[in-house]
A = this chain, B = another copy of it.
Amino acid sequence: MADIIQPRVLKGFRDFLPQAEMERAALLEALTTTFRSFGYVPIDTPVLEYAEILLGKAGGETEKQVYRFKDQGGRDVAMRFDLTVPLARFMAEHAGELYLPFKRYHMAKVWRGENTQRGRYREFMQCDFDIVGVDTASADFDIVATIAAAMKSLGVSDSTIHVNHRGVFNRFLARAGLAEKSVETLRIVDKQSRIGEDETRRLLAEIAGDVAASEILEFIRAGEGFQATLERMTRIAGGSNPDSDRLSEIFDMADACGLASVLSLSPNITRGLDYYTGVVFETFLDAIPEIGSVCSGGRYNDLASLYTKQRLPGVGAAIGLDRLLAALEAVGKAGKTIGYTRVLVVNAEASLCTEYQAAGAAMRAAGIACEVFPETRKLGGQYAYAEQKGASFALVRGSEEKERGIWLLRNLAGRTNAEYSSIEAAVAAMHRQAQ
C-alpha cells in the first residue's frame, strides 16, 4: 500500500461544501430567473483558448496573472481570465448566426493568478450580462433595470446604483485643458473612495497642477440628487451635450419605472478601465457599502475590434459573486438552504428495506423530496442525519408499526409523531400542513 497523498487544494482555490454550494446555487438561480425575465439568453465558451486571442488586448498585470501554457499539441493556450474577451471573440466568430441586439448572460468561472494575500481568489465565478449591437439610452437603462431587479430577487431591498458618463467627464477635462491626461485622471478619481480626498488632490496636483486639481474635485463632488448633480456637471462641462442628454434620458426611464430612488449620479465613479466609453455603473448595498461594488459595468464603443471589422457597441455589467455572497451573508440575506430533503424514510429494519424504497418512490411521485436512509442504524443517528439534511419529517415503520399496518410520520422540529394507515394519507397530511 502506497503512502497517503496529503489531500489539499491549491492556494487561492476553494472547495464548496454543500452548505456553501447550495447558497451559491440559490443565488445563481435567482439571477438566472431575473436575466430570463429581461430576455437575456445564455451562451457558453471554452475555458481554454488560444493565448493570442485571450491576451490580444491585455498587458501588464493581466498578462502576468493569466494561467498560460503549452498544450499536448504545442499550442500556446490560456485559461480565460474574464468573460468579456471570450464574448468579443464569440460575437466576431458567430456574427452571421446571431441576431442583433444580442442580449446574453454568462455565469462561469474565470482564473487569475492574483496575490492571495489581498484576500483574492485565483478561481472565481463571474456573472456577466450585456446588450451588444445598439448604442441607446434604452439599452443603458436596461442594464440599470436588470441590476435593480437582480438585487431585489436576492432579497436586497436597499441598494444604490451609481451611474456616471465618461463623455461628460472628458468634455469637462477638454474644457479644462486636460484632455491628454484623461486616462491618468480617471484612474486617480476612480480611487477617491479608497484613498480619500487629500490623497486624491495630491495625486491630481502632481499630474495637472493645483488649480486643475481643485476644479476636478469640484466637478466630482457627490451631489444633491440626480437632476441637480446633472445640471451642475453639465454646466461645468460647458453646457448641454449628447452625453449629459443620455444621462437625463436614463434618469427619466428610471423615474417612470419606479427606480429613481435607486439611481445615484456619482461623478467620481469612473471605472478604472480605458475600455469604457459611455455610461459606467457601480452598485453598492446600502447596509454595507464598505464591501465595495457588487455589480459594475458600463458602455463600450467597440467590443470586438480585435477580431472583426464590424463595429459592435455594447453595454453590460458583471456581478462579483464572491463579494455579493459575502455581502449577503453580512446583511443576513444569504440563502438558508440546509438541504433539499423534506422527508427521510428511516431504515429501522433491514428486512423492510424494499418497503422503505417503495415509500420513498411514492413520496417523490407526490412531489415530495424524499430520501431513504440506506442502511439500518439507531434511530437517533438517523434523526440527526435528517436534521443535517434539513428534512422536516421522518417516516418510520418498524416491525411493530408493520404489524399494526401503520406508518409513523415524525415532525422533526416539533418532535411529535402522527400515525397514518398509508403513504397516501401521510402525504395528504403533509400537503395540508404546508398550506
> Does A25 lie within 8 Å of B39, measured CB to CB?
no
Instruction: Answer whether residue A162 sits at the interface, using C-beta atoms and an 8 A cutoff.
Output: no
> Does A356 lie within 8 Å of B138, measured CB to CB?
yes
> Does B371 lie within 8 Å of A7, measured CB to CB?
no
In the bound complex, CA of A396 to CA of B49 (Å):
43
The proximity string for A residues 131-154 relative to B, scoring 1 for CB distances below 8 Å and 0 otherwise, is 100101111011001000100000
Instruction: Answer whether residue A273 sits at the interface, using C-beta atoms and an 8 A cutoff.
Output: no
Given A5-B56, A137-B353, A371-B103: A48 in contact with B111 (beta carbons within 8 A): yes
Instruction: Answer whether residue A339 sits at the interface, using C-beta atoms and an 8 A cutoff.
Output: yes
Q: Which residue of B lies closest to A32 (CB)?
A: B25
Instruction: Answer whether residue A50 sits at the interface, using C-beta atoms and an 8 A cutoff.
Output: yes
Residue among B17, B39, B309, B360 making CB contact with A97, cutoff 8 Å: B17
CB under 8 Å from chain B, chain A span 280-323: 304-309
Instruction: Answer whether residue A332 sits at the interface, using C-beta atoms and an 8 A cutoff.
Output: no
In the bound complex, CA of A403 to CA of B59 (Å):
55
The proximity string for A residues 355-388 relative to B, scoring 1 for CB distances below 8 Å and 0 otherwise, is 1111011001000011111110000000011001
Residue among B69, B92, B145, B354 making CB contact with A357, cutoff 8 Å: B145
> Does B10 lie within 8 Å of A49, measured CB to CB?
yes
In the bound complex, CA of A384 to CA of B100 (Å):
11
In the bound complex, CA of A45 to CA of B14 (Å):
7
In the bound complex, CA of A7 to CA of B139 (Å):
26
Given A18-B42, A39-B370: A358 in contact with B256 (beta carbons within 8 A): yes
Instruction: Answer whether residue A8 sits at the interface, using C-beta atoms and an 8 A cutoff.
Output: yes
Instruction: Answer whether residue A413 sits at the interface, using C-beta atoms and an 8 A cutoff.
Output: no
In the bound complex, CA of A73 to CA of B13 (Å):
14
> Does B48 lie within 8 Å of A22, measured CB to CB?
no
* A384: B residues at CB distance < 8 A: 99
In the bound complex, CA of A339 to CA of B149 (Å):
19
Residue among B44, B104, B138 making CB contact with A374, cutoff 8 Å: B138
CB under 8 Å from chain B, chain A span 83-125: 89-90, 92-94, 97-99, 101, 103-104, 109, 111, 113, 123
Main SS at interface, chain A = mixed
Instruction: Answer whether residue A431 sits at the interface, using C-beta atoms and an 8 A cutoff.
Output: no
- Shortest A149–chain B CB gap in Å is 7
Instruction: Answer whether residue A389 sits at the interface, using C-beta atoms and an 8 A cutoff.
Output: yes
Q: Which of A7, A123, A388, A389 has the most CB of B within 10 A?
A: A7
- Shortest A301–chain B CB gap in Å is 14
- Shortest A10–chain B CB gap in Å is 6
In the bound complex, CA of A75 to CA of B113 (Å):
12
Residue among B43, B253, B340, B341 making CB contact with A353, cutoff 8 Å: B253
Total interface residues in chain A, CB < 8 Å = 111
Instruction: Answer whether residue A203 sits at the interface, using C-beta atoms and an 8 A cutoff.
Output: no
The proximity string for A residues 42-77 relative to B, scoring 1 for CB distances below 8 Å and 0 otherwise, is 111111111011001000000011010111110101
- Shortest A236–chain B CB gap in Å is 27
* A22: B residues at CB distance < 8 A: 41-42
Write 27 A-B pairs (CB below 8 A) sorted by A numbering.
Answer: A5-B307, A8-B50, A8-B53, A10-B49, A10-B75, A10-B77, A13-B46, A15-B90, A15-B93, A15-B94, A18-B43, A24-B44, A36-B340, A36-B369, A39-B339, A41-B389, A47-B109, A64-B72, A69-B69, A99-B384, A101-B373, A101-B375, A138-B372, A139-B374, A142-B371, A142-B374, A256-B358
> Contacts A4-B306, A5-B56, A149-B364 given; 19 further ones with Cβ under 8 A?
A5-B52, A5-B307, A7-B92, A9-B46, A10-B50, A13-B46, A15-B43, A37-B364, A38-B364, A39-B339, A39-B340, A39-B389, A46-B123, A47-B79, A99-B385, A137-B353, A139-B375, A142-B372, A253-B354
Across chains A and B, which 4 residue pairs bring their CB atoms closest together, nearest first? A39-B371, A69-B69, A36-B340, A39-B341
